[in-house]
Every structure is written in C-alpha cells, then in structure tokens.
Amino acid sequence: MDAVLESHAQKVVKFVQELLLDEPDRSRIGPALIGEQIDVVLRMKPAWGEGLDRAAITEELVRRFSMWIGRDGTLKDEAGHVAWLDAERKHDWRLWRRYREWLERDLPSDALDALDRSTNGILGLLEDPQRPGDWDRRGLVVGHVQSGKTANYTGLICKAADAGYKIIIVLAGLHNNLRAQTQMRLDEGFLGYATAPSPGDTTTIGVGEIDGDPSIRPNYVTNRTDKGDFSTRLAGSLGISPEQRPWLFVVKKNKTVLTRLLSWVQNHAADSRDQETGRKLVTKLPLLLLDDEADHASVDTGEQLFDEQGRPDEEHSPTVINRLVRRLLHSFTRAAYVGYTATPFANIFIHDRGNTREEGPDLFPSSFIVNLAAPSNYVGPAKIFGLRGSTGREGGLPLIHAVSDHQNEAEGSGWMPQGHKSHHRPSMDELPGSLHEAILSFLLACAARKVRGQGQRHSSMLIHVTRFTAVQAEVHRQVTEIVRGISQRLRRRIGSEKLLADLHTLWDKDFVPVTAMIAGRGDDPSISPLAWEAIAAVLPDVAADVEVRMINGTAKDALDYADNAGRGLKVIAIGGDKLARGLTLEGLCTSYFLRASRMYDTLMQMGRWFGYRPGYLDLCRLYTTSDLIEWFGHIADASEELREEFDMMQASGGTPKDYGLKVQSHSVLMVTSRLKMRSAKTMMLSFSGQVVETVAFHRDPVILGSNLKALRSLVEEMGSPVKVTPIRRPRPDTWHEWEGALWDAVSAQRVVTFLANYKTHPEAHKTSAAHLAEFIDSMARTGELTSWTVAILGGGDRRTVDLGCGISVKMPKREKRSSTQDRFSIGRLLAPRDEAIDLEADAWTASLALTREMWRADPARSQGQEPDTPSGVAIRRVRGFGAAGVPARPDKGLLLLYVLDPQLTQAELPEDMEGVVGFGMSFPGSRSGVKVAYVANNVLWEQDYGSSE
C-alpha cells in the first residue's frame, strides 16, 4: 500500500509542477497556489487523493521552485573539432526523452532543464559519431562530491547512444560494490531493464516502464550480479556488428577485466589494421569511454621523460590501468573519452604532451574541462565547514562534533588509535562515548524524518574508522550489540529510563538549537522545529528497523536501496577504503569518521556527507577529529579558489592546457596524487595569482625575536610611510579604513632581504621564506613584482609594539588552533578585506564586479547574500591582468605584516616576548610562467600527510 501511495504522490507532484510552470509570475508560487493546483489535479484523478499527504506535497513543490541553478563553466580547445549538435539532430532522441521523463519524479523542471543544457554542452564537445575519418576527443567533467554526477553521465550516455555512439564502456571504480551500483543505476536510467546473467532473463524497470519499445532497447554485456563484470565466457561468445543497437559495458578498473576487454576488442570488434604498426583497429563502431572517479587508478603515476624539444619518450611504460585504458582508446579510430570526478587534481597533473607508441596520448583532458554547477540546495564543503576568515572559519553549519576519545594519550592505545595495525582489537570497555552519542544521534535523525513524513525515505549512517577488514568486523560486532540493546530497551520499555533521558538531553542540547538556526535561514521551507513527544513516540519502531551492515567491496554490499524503496532502509554502514570512494549512502544523516589521510583528493572523496539533504539538513551530524576538521577546511578553501580560477580562465578564453599549468604550479595543491611517486621529485611552483600567509609559527623565543628584528630592519630601510593610522581608501559611496602604516613603491630587493632574514617554520610548506624570496627575485628579473606595497596592520584596544622610525602599532589577536612542542598554528592571519588595501576605487569596483560574476555562476558555492566586498582571487586577477578602465599591474606585489600579541595567541609563550611577526603576500596574476623548484620526497610526504590510497 505504501508503494501505491508513493506512486500517487509522485504523480501529483509531477502534474502540479507542470501546471505551475505555466505561472508567469514565479513569486506567486507558494502554499496557496500549490494547494489550488493540487485540487485541480485531484478533480481529474480523485483516487490519487486517498491517503495523500498534502503538506509533504506542498513542501516538496515549494522546495523545487525555490531552488536556483547556475551554468556550467567550460574550458575548451577546438583544434580538430567540427561543431555538429543542433536541434535537428535531437528530434528522435527517445532514450534521452524517456530518461528525462523518469527523472521528473524527483527533480524540478529547472534542474531537468539544467541537466539537458549540461549534457548537450558535453556531447557537443565530443565528435559527431557519424563523422567519418579518424578522431579522438578527451575531456574531463568536474562535479561537486555527491552532487549528481551519475545523473549527468547517465544523461550523456542516453544522448550519445541516441546520436549514434555504438560502444559505450563505463569504468566504474575498483571494487565490485561500486561496479554493481553503477550497473544498477544504468539499468534504471539507460537500459530500462534489470540485467541478469542469462540473456532474456530481464525485468522491466526504470525508463523501460516509460518506453519499453524493443527497437530502441540498448544491449548489455555486463550485469548487476556479484560476478557480472566482463568475463572470459562473455569474451569468447560475444560478437557485435555495426548495424546493431548500442552495447553497454560496465567494468571495474581491474587489470584482469580490462585485459580481457582489450583482447575482445582487438580480436572480435576490430575490422582493420594500422598500416605502419600493424595495430588492430575498430573503424566502424564509434566509442564513448566514460571514466567514473577518473582521478582514481586511471592516472599514470610513473614519470614520463621529455627531451630538450619537449618530445615524450615513446618507450615509457605507463602504470597498468592507465596503459590498458589508453590501449582501449587507441584501438578505435573514432573515440571519445570523458572522465568524471569531483577531485580533478591528479588528472590535471597529467602531462598534456604525454604519449607512447603502443598506448597513444595520455588521458590529459586536452579537448575540454567542464565545471558542473550544482544547484543552490547542494551542501558542499564550503557550506559545512565555511571559508576562512580572520577570526576563524566563517559561514559554516553547526553540524560537526570533534572526536578525541577514540584513543588514549599513551601512544598506540585506546579504542582506535591512529596508526593501528590489522591485528588491533578494539575493546568494548574502551568504546568511545562519542560513538555511542553518534548512534543515538542517528536514531533521533531517523525519528525526526519519520515525524516529518520522510519515513519511507532511506536513512544511513557511516562509520569509517579503519581500513582493516578484521578491525571493521569487530566494530561491526560492537555496533550491532549496541543497536540491539537500544532497540530491546525501547521496545520492551524495560530499563529504558536512562536511555530515554540521554536521548531527550541530546535532542534538547543539540538538535533543537540547530534546527532553529537552520530554519531561521529560510533555505528549506520544510525544516521546522519538532516536539520531543512526537520524536519519543516513534523511537521504538525506528530503532527496531535499524540494520548494521559491513561494506567490504562485494556486489552484495551495494546497499539495496532500490529494492527497499517502499519502506526506506535505516542502515548503519561500517567499512573502510572500499566504502570511502564512490559508493553512495542514500539519506546519509550521521557520519563517524576517524581516518587520517591528508591527501586533498582522498579526503574529498571520503566526504560522503556532502550532497543533498532536503528536509533534513538540520538533522545531519559529522563526528570526526579536530585534525580532519582543519584539513577539510583547507580543502574547502583550495577547492573554492581553484573554481574561481577556472571561472576567470573561462572568461578570458583559456584552454585546458592553461588551467593544467596553473594547477600544476599551485603552491597549495602540493598535496595530490602526483606525490604517489616513490622517489624524490622536483615540483615547479608558481605563486602568481595566489595569496600566501604564515599560519604556522615557531615557539622558540630566539627565532621569534629574530623575526621581529627582521621586521624592524625592513621598517628602517623603507623610511617614513606614505600613510599612517588611519589608512583610508576611497570606495564607491564610502571609505574603508585600516590601522597601521603603509609604504608604496618598495623595491623587490628590500622584500627579498626581509624574507632572507625571516625564519618560517619548516612545516609551513606553502610559505617557505626561501622559496618566496627565490620566486620574487626570479619575477623581478622579468620586470614583474618590482614594486611593492607594504602595510603593517594592527587593530583593537590591545598592547602596542614599537617598530622604530616612529612606527608603533597595536598588536592584533589570533587564537591558537593547534600546537606541538616546537610550533603553534592559527586559523588565518589575513582579514579577507586586507588584500584590497592598495586598490584605487576603480580597481576595487572592477574586482567586486568580477567577484559577483563568479558568485552568480555557481549557487552551490554561494554563501548567503551577494558579496559586497571583492574576493582575493578577483583582486589578484584585476591587479595582474587589468579590467575595463583599469591598467594591468603585474609589477605590483602586496606584503602585509602583522605583529601578533603573544599573550593572546594561547600558545604559552614567554611573558616577556614582545610580539610574533607574521606576513601575508598577495601576488598579482601573471602569464610569465616563472616557477621555482620544490623538492618533495614521497616517503617523508606520506609520513606527514598519509598515503593517498
């Protein structure tokens, strides 16, 4: 019966949405108008009204019509490309039409239109499959983590098949569970039937229920079962002729599987040979090879050498998965490769000229990079963790709880100590209270969702605390025991008083204020306060429904959400690396996450809690370590900056190669899969267009005193400042002010001398004074960064420090974030507005206009109201490249200096210490290509940041 009600509700939503789309004034779309249109639909179909939850229907439609979506950004290289996709080619695209209609159950019309535009854009960047001759297109689609990339590539596959691509290969992760999950989704969205090992043994599902015409039904090779990957049996029996409908292969990135597939292509599908090399070629079947999680395993982590003319060593032997993927592509004379990822760092590090005789060109996305815009209801790193500000992270949501009770102070001891081995056995006696609270938090979230009418929706909890299967098994046993005990006490009402009191306390202390805060923002009209009595009434049934599962990478672990659509799974999933990447946990409410990798791309992929949380964002919780909270903050900042860079390059007509060079020399993104290499490697870094700031400081009083002496020497050399407190800059309709002193036209040599005298902490990789000095010196020799604005900034009613030459500034406060025996770290040194201190009014206005343009481009990155101050990225862009009416000043750098009050840092510094000097440097954008060498040793890197696997 529940499934029937769900079906009726979906139909009402669909028809009312269609009626509302005809409303010319979108501002009228609210509960009253929606109620009128529900009445219209129910007059036509009264049976749909039986048991209909009108409030839930209304909330869903209000949510759909309050969402807004930006537009994708694209960097492209049109060399060799022939434009082909027009309206006439799309007339009979039935595969796409039925997929769009199927998505109408869950997506608003604006989102469907955006998906249509996006997939048209990507397909149009590929080649016309009917175009004769040889062609090869390589592209990358970058989406946000858990933002709907699967829907995008399913739509692309439907359109590509409609257009005439005959062989469609999807590379779906490294493990059976992810491959099976991807197969199931493509069964629903593309094939229209549930694939099975026996031909003809299929059940119509998904899009097949909308249009099941056998004449358009695609063929399948792989199936959704545990052993459904491409097999030796299939390889021996499968034959394809050019006249047949498209064939779908969903395969793992596995040496054995890809070797079989390559052998089949060369022995059964090939119809020609290369005249020079004798290589077998497929000329009649255009290939679309889609690489899901393209940054994982597909990238060649060996180092290909180039000669003095930049020509690649054609005898280079790529790593195995990379080699097999490239050989597959190289076996087709007409081929298109599209990688999908949320973490493109490793892909963009691929050399754009990489090439070998047997494998052909490397997988660098030379044709295009598309940056998918997520809708405004997407919850990503910036929304959860906020972005950095001078007083800490700003704009984040209060959904995160720091965990520290999983290990003891004694090294290597406790329930789940960092660096534990496979033989570790966590003791139930040491079970952390934070884990027990997280489980209670999940039960409360499930109960609240049920009270809100989302009881038939899936709810999941993630527990990711170890990569070892044996340790996971013990965690699974312990969590199962805890959940069973909770359920029995609640259901039998025996010994449940303390448990109910704990749940009530957690509800009042944590959930009530967070719900009030998020409801007050108005982002989601369906989020509103709930009474404890309503929660308590459903807790026994909710607890009884919770299942605890262990996820180890087999297909049966691909959680059977689709098979439980009517009742809604409530599942606690326990796993490690196989759970961390790619596998979707639907309705993820609670995460308990202890893994300590610091690789940017690995951490982002582990962030399964990003995504869409309609009607229950306030119920979501993340329990993790303070280190991981800090690192996810770094990721949010770095990802934001890279996307802004992408937007600017798009506006200036940049190509994927331009962006690749930018990312490859980005000082922040040294943490990437490029460093899986086994020996010391020299990275060439550029600081152009970036801001760097000291956030890690020595605790040695002698070194801190020496740094203060270096600042006083710089002040003495610069002489009298051109401006002292207050430093004022004109802005449209107002003035901005800073406290401190400012000098103009300071020579590069004086800045370099200061850096030579200043000792940065060895752990401050991004702000190495020696590397910065070398970079500035190199730039100055090309005529850039020759003239510096230097500002010493203070503020507040705090102690002052005398810097000589009549300069005295108040010492600002920056709180300690973490500390070790020899260093302490703060959140951020610069206030965001400080980078604008040297801008005249016209440059400030141009920078603000550019900031707002980027803000509107992607609502998933937008925080609150439209910006009223320019971003640092925009300031550096305008400073380096100019804007309308604003001259470019690549010669002009900005050095910002701060003397922190040592007694307000909480870093336990000596009482007689005068001050802690920190600096920030804002570098204008540049096209000069100047870089400096940075040597990174992989062994030391993994000790510091953890393995990327």
Residues 909-923: pLDDT tens digits? Answer: 888 889 999 999 999
**Which residues, including other chains, have CB under 8 Å from residue 110's CB and lie 6 or more apart?**
64, 67, 68, 69, 375
Q: Which two tokens stand for residue 18?
A: 């269609």
pLDDT in tens, 353-374: 677 888 888 888 889 999 888 7
From CA 675, how far away is CA 697, in angstroms rounded?
26
pLDDT confidence bin for 807, thresholds 50/70/90: very high
Say if residue 745 is in the same domain as residue 829: yes
DSSP 8-class letter at 923 = P
3-state secondary structure of 670: helix
Measured between alpha carbons, how far is residue 210 from residues 13, 47, 95, 624 in Å?
17, 21, 10, 44
Q: What share of the chain is helix, strand, coil (3-state, %, to 5)?
A: 40, 20, 40
Q: Could you give phi then psi for residue 402, rounded to 5 degrees?
A: -75, 135
DSSP 8-class letter at 167 = E
Domain end call among 43, 66, 89: 66
Say if residue 765 is in the same domain as residue 883: yes
Q: For residue 865, is pLDDT > 60? A: yes
Long-range contacts, stretch 13-19, CB < 8 angstroms, 24+ apart: 13/57, 13/60, 13/61, 13/105, 14/104, 14/105, 15/41, 16/40, 16/41, 16/57, 16/61, 17/61, 17/64, 17/104, 17/108, 17/109
Within a domain: residue 392? no
Say if residue 56 is in the same domain as residue 191: no
Say if residue 594 is in the same domain as residue 669: no
What pLDDT score was predicted for residue 919? 97
Within a domain: residue 384? no
Helices (H), 45-93: 54-66
3-state secondary structure of 272: strand
What pLDDT score was predicted for residue 679? 34
59 compared with 702, residue with greater pLDDT: 702
Residue 829's CB is within 10 A of a number of other CB atoms, namely 24
pLDDT in tens, 64-76: 776 666 778 899 9
Within a domain: residue 327? yes
From CA 655, how far away is CA 369, in angstroms rounded?
8
Q: Please tell me the total count of domains within the chain.
A: 4
Within a domain: residue 377? no
Say if residue 922 is in the same domain as residue 773: yes
- What is the sign, positive or negative, of the torsion defined by CA atoms of 864, 869, 872, 877? positive
Domain end call among 571, 600, 624: 624
What pLDDT score was predicted for residue 949? 36
Calculate the CA dihedral of residues 7, 12, 17, 22 and round it to 10 degrees: 140
pLDDT confidence bin for 948, thresholds 50/70/90: very low
Share of the chain above pLDDT 70, in %: 82
Longest Cα–Cα distance of the chain, Å, equals 89
What pLDDT score was predicted for residue 27? 67
Strand partners, 737: 728
3-state secondary structure of 377: coil
Say if residue 430 is in the same domain as residue 523: yes
Whether the Cβ atoms of residue 401 and residue 514 lie closer than 8 Å to each other: no
Say if residue 730 is in the same domain as residue 594: no
Say if residue 43 is in the same domain as residue 114: no
From CA 433, how far away is CA 817, in angstroms rounded?
24
Q: For residue 439, is pLDDT > 50? A: yes
Q: Which two tokens stand for residue 585?
A: 């946990």
From CA 48, how far away is CA 7, in angstroms rounded?
9
The β-bridge relationship of strands 691-693 and 916-922 is: antiparallel
Within a domain: residue 155? yes
Say if residue 332 is in the same domain as residue 458: no
Whether the Cβ atoms of residue 736 and residue 836 lie closer than 8 Å to each other: yes
Strand partners, 75: 369
Look at phi and psi of residue 885 and say left if phi exceeds 0, alpha if psi is from -120 to 50, else beta.
Answer: left
Give the CB-side neighbour count of residue 868, counting CA atoms within 13 A: 7
Q: Could you give phi then psi for residue 504, rounded to 5 degrees?
A: -65, -45
Within a domain: residue 388? no
From CA 223, how far away is CA 198, in angstroms rounded?
9
pLDDT in tens, 395-435: 778 898 989 888 876 666 889 887 788 889 998 888 899 99
Q: Which two tokens stand for residue 427?
A: 């003791």
From CA 278, how far away is CA 267, in angstroms rounded?
13
Which amino acid is present at 482? I
Measured between alpha carbons, how far is residue 922 from residues 181, 493, 788, 813, 847 in Å?
46, 63, 10, 21, 14
pLDDT in tens, 564-613: 656 788 999 998 765 555 566 788 899 898 865 545 555 555 556 677 78
- The DSSP line for 242-267 is TTSPPEEEEE-S-HHHHHHHHHHIII
What pLDDT score was predicted for residue 135? 96
Say if residue 15 is in the same domain as residue 80: no
pLDDT in tens, 734-749: 778 899 999 999 999 9
Whether the Cβ atoms of residue 183 and residue 224 lie closer than 8 Å to each other: yes
Say if residue 564 is in the same domain as residue 424: yes
Q: What is the CATH number of the domain that holds 364?
A: 3.40.50.300
The secondary element (H helix, E strand) that includes residue 479 is helix 469-492
Instruction: Provide mean pLDDT across the span 495-509.
Output: 94
Q: Which two tokens stand for residue 474?
A: 């013990």
Instruction: Provide mean pLDDT across the span 683-687.
Output: 70
Q: Could you give phi then psi for residue 448, rounded to 5 degrees?
A: -65, -40
Measured between alpha carbons, how far is residue 706 from residues 135, 178, 759, 880, 933 in Å?
62, 55, 8, 33, 26
The secondary element (H helix, E strand) that includes residue 45 is none
pLDDT confidence bin for 235, thresholds 50/70/90: low
Strand partners, 69: 375
Within a domain: residue 778? yes
Measured between alpha carbons, how far is residue 505 from residues 158, 405, 616 in Å?
51, 20, 20
3-state secondary structure of 39: helix
Domain end call among 66, 91, 114: 66
Per-residue burial over 746-781, b = 16 or more CB atoms within 10 Å of its CB, e = otherwise:
bebebbbbbbebbbbbeebbbbbbebbbbbbbbbbe
pTM over 0.75? The answer is no
Q: Which of 652, 686, 637 is nearest to 832 (CA)?
A: 637
Within a domain: residue 405? yes
What pLDDT score was predicted for residue 828? 81
pLDDT confidence bin for 557, thresholds 50/70/90: low
Q: Where are the beta strands (DSSP E) in 588-689?
A: 588-593, 611-612, 621-624, 681-685
824 compared with 534, residue with greater pLDDT: 534
Task: Report cis status (omega within 30 of 0) of the bond before 726.
Answer: yes
Q: For residue 241, is pLDDT > 70? A: no
Rounded to 5°, the CA angle 457-458-461 comes to: 145
Domain that holds residue 29: 2-66
- The chain-wide mean pLDDT, for the chain, equals 83
From CA 154, how far away is CA 677, in angstroms rounded?
34
Q: Which two tokens stand for residue 926?
A: 């540049």
Residue linked to tokens 């449209």: 732
Q: How remote is the C-alpha of 795 from its chain's centroid?
A: 36
Say if residue 61 is in the same domain as residue 77: no
What pLDDT score was predicted for residue 855? 75
